[in-house]
Every structure is written in structure tokens, then in C-alpha cells.
A = this chain, B = another copy of it.
Amino acid sequence: MFEKIVSNTRENTPMVHTITNYVTVNDCANIILACGGAPIMADDINEVEEITSICQGLVINIGTLNDRTILSMIKAGKKANELGHPVILDPVGAGASKFRTETVFKLLKEVKFTVIRGNYSEIKTVYKGSGTTRGVDADIKDMIEEDNLDEIIVFAKSLSKKTGSIIAITGSIDIVSSAERAFVIRNGHPLMSKITGSGCMLSTVIGAYCGANYEQIFEATAAAVSAMGLCGELAYDVLENRGTATYRTLIIDFMSKMNDSILRGGAQIEVR
């Protein structure tokens, strides 16, 4: 599985236009480089169409959204759609404020996303805004665990069908789903939740992998999710007595050394 996703990325060096938050933007730029891509961060409405045009992928992350950048996100997204570029949505904090939720709904209406990646809670909010009237049960617990895995896979497939997007729900277990099929990915380490930006970084790796493997978006997304988790495992293995800042550094280090064979050896992926 994923025979050449990583090496394709290193060979093609996809340029990834990234409109993202100012909290984790540096880590995002560094991990795009580490995984084989080339980052361009640009969020001014005067240039986003041109910048996206010279890239092979677009990542939209609403982590520190504001009125100015929302317009840029929409403009860039529409242009990327027009050009057939993969467009990734990371709906950070969707559901935490009306402003975020409504922005996600607006983005979903204006832009066609190739991949949507978030935690379960964020993706449930996406579901609400994706054109159905049936609300998602708010009382489904927000963690993906073995006992609600089947239920969430059904949910993910249904959302993928509605949106036409590949859905990546990440947590202690990760799900990458199309309308018909889901990868269940069991890579990663709990310490990843103690650094900021592991989700944001993953979304940009998805952007790079998809940018270089646009004919196999579903596999590229799953490969990115697995590779990111695997980096978290490998980093933990050599962490010794160091703490979370070293852990962050090591995760990016391992991404810069990732190749097809390391990924093949470490990927914990099941198809459902």
C-alpha cells in the first residue's frame, strides 16, 4: 500500500499554498519542507489567486481566522477548485464559537474540498454545515475508541458521500474515509496531544502528499496520516528523558527522513 506516495512527494516537490494560523505556521512550513514539499504562506486577498496558481495544493486552516483572511481563503479556494488543485480544510476549533462554525459553513458552501481533516468534534460541526438538516447527535462521545469505531466509520463515509471530500478524523485512532471505504490507522502516540500543531502539521503534509499524488488522493491522505503518527512513535522511541519541546523537534526530524520503506514498515492500517 502507498508504494510511492512519499518518494513521489520528494521527487515532485509540490508547492503548497498554506493559509493558516500564526500559532503553528512555522512548524507547518518546516514539516512541508521535511516531507518533500515547498511551502508558500500568503494570505492577502491581492495575491492569493496568483500564489495558488503557481502551487500544486492549497491548505486552509482557520486556527486564527479573521475577517480579512476569510475572504482570502474563499478566493484562494475558488481558484484552486478552478485549477483542479487538491484543497485541504483544517476546521480548527469549529464548534468552539459561532464565528468559527459559520466560517466553516461558508467555506463548505463556496469551496469544494478534496480532503477535510479534523478531530471528531470539529468534523461533527462540519457535518452540520454540509447541507443536511439532520443534526449530528451531540451526545456521541468525542473520542474515537474501539467501541464507537464502527459508528464513526459509518458517519465518516456518510459525510464523505455528502461532501465529495475525503474525510480524515484524527484522534487516538485515525479514520480516513471515502464514501465507500475507510482506512483505520493505528499509528501515533498520546504525547502528540501535548504539543501544539500536530493536527495543523498533518493537514499540511496531506497537502504536500496530495499535491504530488493527485491521482490517488485517498491513499495519499491515509499515507500522510500514517506517516505523521509513525513520526510520533519513532520520536517517542528516542526521546529518553527529554520533554515535549524536544519531542516536537524529533517529530519533524523523522518526517524529514521518512521514505516509502520506513512508512511501509511502520504503517498500522486496516481497511474497512
Residues on A lying within 8 angstroms of B by beta carbon are: 21-27, 29-30, 33-34, 39-44, 46-47, 50-51, 54, 63-68, 93, 96-100, 194-197, 242-246, 248-257
Contact = CB atoms under 8 A, between A and B. Distances in A.
A195 B246 CA distance: 16
Given A29-B23, A29-B196, A65 B41 contact: no
Contacts of A257: 243
Contacts of A47: 97-100
Given A68-B66, A93-B42, A194-B34, A50 B99 contact: yes
Given A41-B23, A256-B194, A96 B54 contact: yes
Contact of A243 (B46, B244, B252): B252
B42 A197 contact: no
21 contacts: A26-B26, A26-B197, A30-B245, A33-B194, A34-B243, A34-B245, A39-B196, A42-B93, A42-B97, A43-B64, A44-B65, A44-B67, A44-B99, A47-B98, A50-B97, A51-B97, A245-B249, A245-B250, A245-B252, A245-B256, A246-B249
Given A46-B99, A47-B97, A253-B243, A41 B26 contact: no
A96 to B, nearest CB: 6
